[in-house]
Amino acid sequence: MKYLILGGNNRFLGCLLFGAAAWKSADRDRWIGWTPDIRERNLGLICNNTRFLILPWIQIPHLASYSLGACLRRLPQDWKQRYGTNIMLAETFVDTTRYAGTCYKAANWKKVGQTKGRSRQDRQKKIKVPIKDILVYPLRRNFRKTLLVP
C-alpha cells in the first residue's frame, strides 16, 4: 500500500509504504505469544511500514506523526479492499543509528524489542546490518486474540 503525503495545492511532502510483515522477528513473535506454527498461519494478519519519507526540506511541525496516524486510521479498510485480509497489527523497524523514531513514539507505537542485526537475505548468517528497534501498533482492540488463533 502506498500513501502520498500532500500539502496545499497538492504539493508533495512525503510518502508511506506498507507491505508484508517480516517472516521472523524473535522479539515481536515473543511479544505476541506466537509459536512457529501459529506465526506461519497468522503472519498475513500483520503488515510492515517498510518506508516512511518526509522530504528533508519540509519543515511542518508534527507532520510525520499526523501523517502516520492518518494512514493507520484508513490502512485496515484499504488493506482489506486490496488484499482481502483483516490486518490486526502494523510493525516497523527503526535504525536507531540514523533515526530516533520520534514520530512513531508520538503516534503511540510500542517498542517490543530489537532485531538481531541480520538481513532477510542472510541465509548463511554472515551478513551484518545495524540492529533496529522493533515497533508495533495494534490496529484492532482484539488483535492479540485474533493473532493467537491456531
Lowest mean pLDDT among 50-64, 84-98, 119-133: 119-133
pTM of the predicted protein model: 0.90
Q: What total number of domains does the chain contain?
A: 1
d(CA 33, CA 13): 38
Q: What number is the average pLDDT over the span 36-54?
A: 97
- Tell me: pLDDT of 2 over 90: yes
128 backbone dihedrals φ, ψ, rounded to 5°: -110, 130
The pLDDT tens digits of the residues spanning 113-141 come to 999 877 655 566 666 788 999 999 999 99
12 vs 126: which has the higher pLDDT: 12
Closest listed residue to residue 136, CA positions, set 83, 97, 87, 77: 87
Q: Which amino acid is at 23?
A: W
d(CA 14, CA 4): 6
CATH of residue 113:
3.40.630.30
Range of the domain at 99: 2-147
**Grid cell 522479539 in the structure block, residue:** 27
77, containing H or E segment: helix 63-83
